[in-house]
Amino acid sequence: MGEIWQAAVVDSFNKFLEKVITFLPNLLAMLTILIVGFVIAWLVKRFVLRILNAVQFDRASQRWGLTHFLSKGSIRYSPALLLSRFLYWIIVLITFILGINALEVAAVQNLIAQFFNYLPHIFAAIIILVIGYLIAVFLGQATLIAAVNAQIGSARLLSRSVRWFIMILSFTMALYHLGIAEKVIVVAFSITFGGIVLALAIAFGWGGRELAKGFLERLYNRREKEEGPDRISHI
């Protein structure tokens, strides 16, 4: 009885030891990946920050309105620092995932594979959102200035409409890219903008026919009246 008990204990201890011996290199690999990953992340952060400072990224961000946008969200870091930190944490995240993957736990590996497959979509969505925002700010500002110089009273409304249209468009594109309710988004977007255009067409073409006519007549007459006497040569 005693021998059987001893054999069982020794056997299970051996199995445990075998598992530990098998697992130990994986653990060491994970630790190595984590250490190397953190060092690379730190180096990349420093390098990117230096490059961004050299190309005056903060000044360009100010010009694009990115600094203004960040300050609105109470973010006090400079865009260059923010971008370098973002890259740091991305590398840290990838390092963690690779580290966990090195442990070779089947269930976790599956999840990681799925995550890596999805990662490019997340990046693409972020890029779409950032570029969309920059274009929206740029065109919104250009519209505002052009409308003021053309003496359009509702310049700000026009500028905001342009800005929001582009931002909604880029947000929709980002969601579509992430594969979140693709069909719903496309349908919702089509219905919303189609509806707006149809409403405007009906309002101007039918309901507000007289109003539109009067508005255009007044605009034309005013222009004619105002432009007539101004003959300054600016140059």
Partner 1 sequence: MEQSLQTQLDGIKTADILVGIPSYNNVRTIGHVVRAVIAGLAKYFPKAKAVLVNSDGGSSDGTQEEVRRVQIDDFKTILTSHPVHPIHRIITPYHGIPGKGSAFRTIFEAATLLRAKACAVVDSDLRSITPEWMELLLRPVYDEGFDYVAPLYARHKFDGTITNSIVYPLTRALYGKRVRQPIGGDFGFSGELAKFYLSKAVWETDVARFGIDIWMTTLAITGGYQVCQSFMGAKLHDAKDPGSDLGPMFTQVVSSVYGLMEEYHPLWKDVKGSEPVPVFGFSYEVGLEPVQVNLERMIKNFRLGIKDLMEIWRRVLPSETALWLESIGRLSDEAFHFPQDLWVRLIYDFAIAYSQGSVHRDHLLKSMIPLYLGRVASFVRENMESSATEVEERIESLCKVFEEMKPYLTERWAKGKGGG
Where do contacts with partner 1 occur on this chain (CB under 8 A)? 56, 59-60, 62-64, 68, 138, 141-142, 144-149, 151, 153, 155-156, 159, 226-227, 229-235
Q: How far is the CB of 68 from partner 1 (least distance, A)?
A: 8
* Closer Cβ to partner 1, 183 or 225, answer by number: 225
By CB atoms closer than 10 A (0-12, 13-18, 19+), residue 101 is: buried
Helix axes of 182-202 and 155-178: crossing angle, nearest 10 degrees: 160
- The one-letter amino acid at 103: L
* Closer Cβ to partner 1, 183 or 231, answer by number: 231
Q: How far is the CB of 135 from partner 1 (least distance, A)?
A: 12
* Closer Cβ to partner 1, 2 or 153, answer by number: 153
Q: How far is the CB of 157 from partner 1 (least distance, A)?
A: 10
Q: How far is the CB of 224 from partner 1 (least distance, A)?
A: 12
Alpha-carbon distance 79 to 63, whole Å?
12
Are 140 and 162 within 8 A, CB to CB?
A: yes
* Closer Cβ to partner 1, 117 or 149, answer by number: 149
Q: Give backbone dihedrals phi and psi of 164, rounded to 5 degrees, phi first.
A: -70, -35
* Closer Cβ to partner 1, 114 or 151, answer by number: 151
List of E strands, 99-197: none
Q: How far is the CB of 232 from partner 1 (least distance, A)?
A: 5
Are 158 and 147 within 8 A, CB to CB?
A: yes
Alpha-carbon distance 151 to 225, whole Å?
14
Kindly state the tokens that stand for 179. Answer: 């594969």
